[in-house]
Structure 1
Amino acid sequence: MTRRTVLGAFAGIASLAAAPVYAKAPGLIREAGDIRKIRMYSQRTGEKIDTIYWVDGEYIPEVLNEISFFMRDWRQNELISYDPRNVDVMAAAQHKLDTSEPYLMISGYRSRKTNDMLRARSRGVASNSYHIKGMAADLRLRSRSVAQMYNAAYSCNAGGVGKYTHSNFVHMDCGPVRTWGR
Structure 2
Amino acid sequence: MTMKQTSSSTSFSRRALLGAFAATALVSAPTYSKAAGLLRGSGDIRRIKMYSARTGEKIDMIYWVEGDYIKDAVQEVNHFMRDWRTGDVKNMDLRTIDIMAASLNLLDVNEPFMLLSGYRSPKTNAMLRSRSSGVAKNSLHLKGQAADLRLSSRSVSQIGRAAASCAAGGVGRYSGSNFVHMDCGPVRTWGG
TM over 0.5: yes
The answer (yes or no) to whether the contact 2:29–2:106 under 8 Å persists in 1 is no
User: 1:161 is matched with which residue?
Assistant: 171
Alignment of 1:35-46 (within 5 A): 35-46=45-56
In the alignment, structure 1 segments of 5+ residues that lack a partner are none
Partners of 2:82 and 2:148 in 1: how far apart? 13
User: 1:77 is matched with which residue?
Assistant: 87
Alignment of 1:13-162 (within 5 A): 13-15=24-26, 27-32=34-39, 34-162=44-172
Report the structure number with the largest CA radius of gyration.
2
Partners of 1:120 and 1:56 in 2: how far apart? 44
1:3 maps onto 2:10 in alignment: no
The answer (yes or no) to whether the contact 2:173–2:180 under 8 Å persists in 1 is yes
The answer (yes or no) to whether the contact 2:36–2:168 under 8 Å persists in 1 is no
- Look up the equivalent residue of 2:106 and give its one-letter code: K
Structure 1 residues 145 and 12, CA gap change in structure 2 (3 angstroms): farther
Structure 1 residues 9 and 76, CA gap change in structure 2 (3 angstroms): same
Query: Structure 1 residue 32: deviation in Å?
Result: 4.0
TM-score normalised by the chain length of structure 1: 0.91
Query: Structure 1 residue 6: deviation in Å?
Result: 2.7
The answer (yes or no) to whether the contact 1:104–1:140 under 8 Å persists in 2 is yes
* Residue deviations 1:127-152 (CA, integer Å, cap 9, x gap): 00000000000000001000000000
Structure 1 residues 40 and 128, CA gap change in structure 2 (3 angstroms): same
Query: Structure 1 residue 13: deviation in Å?
Result: 2.6
Structure 1 residues 181 and 52, CA gap change in structure 2 (3 angstroms): same
The answer (yes or no) to whether the contact 1:160–1:175 under 8 Å persists in 2 is yes
Query: Structure 1 residue 9: deviation in Å?
Result: 2.3
Query: Structure 1 residue 12: deviation in Å?
Result: 4.2
The answer (yes or no) to whether the contact 1:31–1:95 under 8 Å persists in 2 is no
RMSD (Å) for aligned C-alpha atoms: 2.0
Partners of 2:86 and 2:29 in 1: how far apart? 42
- Look up the equivalent residue of 1:8 and give its one-letter code: G
Alignment identity in percent?
59
Q: How many residues align?
A: 178
Query: Structure 1 residue 28: deviation in Å?
Result: 1.6
User: 2:189 is matched with which residue?
Assistant: 179
The answer (yes or no) to whether the contact 1:31–1:96 under 8 Å persists in 2 is no
